[in-house]
Amino acid sequence: MTTEHGDDRDLGLSLRLLWTGRTRPPRGRPPALTLDQIVEAAVEVADELALTEGIEALSMRRVANRLGVGTMTLYRYVPAKSELLDLMLDRVIEAPDPTCDIDDETGWREILTEEARCYWRLCVNHPWYPYVDQSRPILGPNALRGLDRVLGLLRRTGAPDRTLMMMLAVQHDYTNGVARSHINELRAEARTGVSNEEFWAQQAPTLETVLRSGDFPTMLSMDEKTFDFTYEQLFEFGLNRLHDGFSSILDATPR
């Protein structure tokens, strides 16, 4: 399930929070908290809930409890959960991943591969991230900085900006989809207490009987290792095939 927040937030407030760190000039008593503390606490709570109750269970009350303050205290800093989610989305991509080794000499395949792997790790490290509705994204400083960087590197290919942007969008949606499937499996295990291996082991006797009925000759004749791959391996396989398709455009583009 996707947490919808795109249409119930104040665009102006979200932008001011992301780019200035506040919605209005401070007044009254000196603040007991900082916006950074609130966002960090919210990310911690969301990470803990992601595989059990899901991001839908994140609330201002739970964040306030984590900080040891009353719920109404948070509203001095953040007007609603929707705006808090915008801040959280931008916060978790703030620190550059040291394994994302992209520089000015890197080829386009390596640039796109590292970009996808960084996003994959973001989803795995924060399993709530791909479940927040970003159909109308608010670009904060960290998201915009990352997009500006990767587009700047890809421009060396000579491909039109629109083509590069569509490639990034296709890759993002592909990575997001596989990550969600992987996380769904982890969520099912956390929710039921039954591992994926145990789940399939329980089905094995019935499936074996069904396959030997003669109605599914192809499935019966398949190699026993046919389904022996992880989501990480599936992600890498699909990513390579995606880039094979991109090569027909990028490798043929005059520089």
Of 45, 46, 33, the residue nearest 75 (C-alpha): 33
Burial class (CB in 10 A: 0-12, 13-18, 19+), 175: buried
pLDDT of residue 134: 83
pLDDT at 6 exceeding the cut of 90: no
pLDDT at 16: 76
pLDDT reported for residue 173 = 96
Q: Per-residue pLDDT for 54 more than 90?
A: yes
Q: What is the domain class of 11-91 according to CATH?
A: mainly alpha
Lowest model confidence (mean pLDDT) among 11-25, 34-48, 58-72, 106-120: 11-25
Q: How confident is the model at residue 42 (pLDDT cuts 50, 70, 90)?
A: very high
Rounded to whole angstroms, the Cα distance separating 153 from 111 reads: 8
Measured distance CA(18)–CA(35) in Å, rounded: 10
Selected residue with higher pLDDT from 8 and 26: 8
Average pLDDT estimate for 123-138: 90
CATH number 3.40.720.10 given to 108-250: no
pLDDT digits (tens, 9 = 90+) for 190-233: 999 999 899 989 998 999 899 889 999 999 999 989 999 999 99
Confidence at residue 62, expressed as pLDDT on a 0 to 100 scale: 97
Q: CA–CA separation, 120 vs 175, rounded Å?
A: 6
Domain ranges of the chain: 11-91, 108-250
Amino acid at 145: R
Residue 148 identity (one-letter amino acid): D
Residue 243 pLDDT: 97
* Lowest mean pLDDT segment, chosen from 41-55, 131-145, 153-167, 200-214: 131-145
What pLDDT band is residue 24 in, cutting at 50, 70 and 90?
low
